Amino acid sequence: MRQIAPIGRASVGCGPLIQPLTDTARPLRQQIFERVRAAGQMARVQLAKELCISPASVTTITSELIDAGLLEAVETLREGEGGRGRPAVALRVRPNTRLVVGIKLSDREHTAVLVDFAGTMLAGEAIPRDPGPMALDAILDAAERLLDRVCTRAGVAREAVEAVGLGVPGFVDCDSGVVHWSPVLLHRHVALQAALRARLGRTVFVDNDANLVTLAELWFGAGRRLSDFAVVTIEHGVGMGFVINHRIYRGSRGMGMELGHTKVQLDGALCRCGQRGCLEAYVADYALVREAQTALNLPLGEMQSVGVMLESLFDHAKAGNAAARSIFRRAGRYLAVGLSNIVNLFDPELIILSGERMRYDYLYASETLAEMHAMMLDTGRDAPQIETHAWGDLLWAHGAAALALHELTEQLLGPSRELAAE
């Protein structure tokens, strides 16, 4: 993997020809808060420069945000003067203002974290579970148990938690809070957000898991240095998140970025979603396991867990089993198709490959990357950076917490809302 380049022009976005995108509805205080939050800390003069506004405006708005208890001033050392420089003042998010909890539901375990307003994790919990879809009530029970556990561990009351972010795999309309389909839910079109709000008595936000990883990267990872990047998650399914100009893009109705269900083969392999030829049906865990049965010559009907099957398949491939190798080889080639399609459509600065399977060689083998390059347009320029992040489930829960922080911030700082001191 190559190292990431320094922040480029697109991060500054004042150039006349590459058109940055606009949202006319977002007030400056929101933009300022987000820049500070993303950077960890930032001096006022830097804010003025990055946002192309006057230092006087920055001073006015940041004073409002400090008065409202959302930002605070901290002393920092001036750049380039080593450890002996005079202290300068930077701004950062005031951490103790609000607490939120992030919960991630998945096939193997449910996880939760409790974080402060600056996103710092105060407690984390995980509950193992049996795979398979669950009824809504069981989901609500699990979420409530996790909420109470992280609160107990952090020594705070449930009432101190201002909001809960919940992530589930599948097709989530994050605007209405309805989960149209998820491998963890027995039913379709479930109003999960409303049900969980009623159960917990807390504000709840719901999103799909790929967006959670993307939010985690935006708040705590790549987003601290880049304005534009794509995240591709490969686990039980294949997901995607996309950040443009420091914001997640969700499509006009909140249902975009379903990379796993783009078609890479007409009338191709059968996908869990019921359609044929989806990228996921060649690359995701279940697609590998499906063929592993044949490659490993297992008796029909003999079931092993997905993890055991994948480990076994990987061992056989390393030991030279041609059928096992061809499964990884094909998955790698189709992954290259998916990645090159992202490059040819979105032209991102960086693609982050995220998920536990990232440790399987085939996914970041030089062959797959070479194939991706061969399928990108020949424009004479470098390919985008590719990084692999093999995060565990806690990262996903951290992303769910970022969702809650993000939505809270929107509500606090959005249009037509007055800033009130705590």
Residues 380-419 that bind its own copies (CB under 8 A): 380-381, 384, 407, 410-411, 414-416
Identity of the residue, 252 or 297, whose beta carbon is nearer to its own copies in the bound complex: 252
Q: Which of 256, 231, 57, 264 is nearest to 173 (CA)?
A: 256
CB of 293 to its own copies, least distance (A): 23
Cα dihedral sign for 276, 282, 283, 285?
Answer: positive
* 3-class state of residue 206 by DSSP: strand
CB environment 140-150: b (16+ within 10 A), e (fewer): bebbbebbebb
Verify binding: residue 379, its own copies, rule CB under 8 A. Answer: yes
Identity of the residue, 183 or 254, whose beta carbon is nearer to its own copies in the bound complex: 254
CB 217 within 8 A of CB 352: yes
CB of 97 to its own copies, least distance (A): 19
- Tell me the pairing of strands 99-105 and 87-93: unpaired
CB of 73 to its own copies, least distance (A): 22
Q: For residues 125, 131, 136 and 141, what is the CA-based torsion angle, rounded to 10 degrees? A: -30
CB of 390 to its own copies, least distance (A): 25
Distance between CA atoms of 49 and 70, rounded to whole angstroms? 21
Identity of the residue, 104 or 333, whose beta carbon is nearer to its own copies in the bound complex: 333
Distance between CA atoms of 340 and 375, rounded to whole angstroms? 6
CB environment 368-378: b (16+ within 10 A), e (fewer): bbebbeebbee
The β-bridge partners of 178 are 173
Within 60-99, the residues that bind its own copies by CB under 8 A are none
Identified binder of its own copies from the candidate list 117, 249, 362, 396, rule CB under 8 A = 249
Identified binder of its own copies from the candidate list 4, 46, 48, 51, rule CB under 8 A = 51
Largest CA distance in the chain: 73
Contact characters 305-344, its own copies, x per CB under 8 A? ----------------------------xx--x--xx--x
> Among 139-147, 294-302, 376-384, 390-398, which window interacts with its own copies (CB under 8 A)?
376-384
Within 251-310, the residues that bind its own copies by CB under 8 A are 251-259, 261-266, 273-275, 277
Contact characters 218-247, its own copies, x per CB under 8 A? ----------x-----------x---xxxx
The single-letter DSSP state of residue 267 is T
Other Cβ atoms closer than 10 A to 306: 18
With CB under 8 A, what is the number of residues at the site for its own copies? 86
Identified binder of its own copies from the candidate list 107, 116, 235, 349, rule CB under 8 A = 349
Within 162-201, the residues that bind its own copies by CB under 8 A are 171, 173-175, 180-181, 188-189
